[in-house]
A and B are shown apart, each in its own frame.
Chain A
Amino acid sequence: DADVTQTPRNRITKTGKRIMLECSQTKGHDRMYWYRQDPGLGLRLIYYSFDVKDINKGEISDGYSVSRQAQAKFSLSLESAIPNQTALYFCATSAPGGYGWGEQFFGPGTRLTVL
């Protein structure tokens, strides 16, 4: 089984709809991240969480919110989806220290299309 899972893998929705993307991990990592990928722009950080009680905005948090329900679960919500939120969304995890510090482990991604 994959260490970092995302649901759904693909989603088509309409402008104005609320949508939630979910991420679960079995790696036991405290740190979790949400990114969006757009062609030619690389990956940009939306939100990150270093533990259950710690939530931080990334560089492009407007229009998004998150919830860290448990160490293993980190959800991303679009309260009112708009077409320019059409993108590939990734969840990632990392360990806080020790060997392998800094390396992030990615889920398979969610392709979101907003019509």
Chain B
Amino acid sequence: QVQLQESGPGLVKPSETLSLTCTVSGGFITNYYWSWIRQPPGKGLEWIGYIYYSGRTNYNPSLKSRVTISVDTSKNQFSLKLSSVTAADTAVYYCARVDGGNLDYWGQGTLVTVSS
């Protein structure tokens, strides 16, 4: 059974960079795309972007100038960096596996609050 676990700081100051890591267990990171999705408190889901295990990425244009997703196959991990954060970036951040087009395995999510 594939499991994903997000980790990283729960509090980030405005204008700083949000950094999260997703650790994949129960399966290999190779041969799949991996996504980041976020959900502001009480709101809907927003797709941030994805990465293939080879390193190929695609980002949501609304965040593209601030987002970097990277992968470390040796650690079975992939990561998210979001720069110049504001209060609008406060959300639960999820990592998920992409199977074809659907998101079949999700992490439990981690709340990141942007506040001074």
State yes or no: do A and B come from one complex: no
Residue positions of B touching A, CB distance < 8 A: none
Residue positions of A touching B, CB distance < 8 A: none
